[in-house]
Amino acid sequence: MRLTALAALTTCLAAPAWAQGTAPAAKPPAAAAAERYLLHVEAPEVLIHEKPEAAAPVVGRLEQGVEIEADRKSGDWYRVRRASGQEGWVLNAAGATGPTMVVRPFPEDRRIAYEAGAIDPRVL
């Protein structure tokens, strides 16, 4: 009788949680990675709009060669933060000479010195 009880106990302890009538513990959801993109302006000029709409008011511009971080994407629009701290949206559209911007994932080990934008004439 002792062997039967010991065998039953061993089987219960070795069985998976679902077989014992309890649900396995749920894994916590992985934290969603923040959207970060590195935009490199290829066109002579890219307009910054107030909203992600072509008809929205223009609030600034970026000149060719500027790199800027975007923290959100909506279709072909990217949300950027200007040197003034205000947000704006830029459109990555194909032009006659190619794309207006090159878009890459933002490197984790990189930081953009936004304070330098206050003196960079290419960022308005």
Query: For 37-84, what is each residue's pLDDT tens digit?
Result: 999 999 999 999 999 999 999 999 999 999 999 999 999 999 999 878
Cα 96 to its chain centre, rounded Å, is 28
pLDDT at 76: 94
pTM above 0.85, yes or no: no
Which residues, 6 or more positions from 103, have their beta carbon under 8 angstroms from its beta carbon? 37, 38, 39, 70, 78, 92
CATH 1.10.3720.10 describes domain 37-107:
no
Domain ranges of the chain: 37-107
Task: Give CA–CA dist 21/25, Å, rounded.
Answer: 13
| Contact by Cβ (8 Å): 78, 89 | yes
Taking 70 as the threshold, does the pLDDT of residue 24 lie above it? no
- Please report which confidence band the pLDDT of residue 101 belongs to, taking 50, 70 and 90 as the band edges: very high
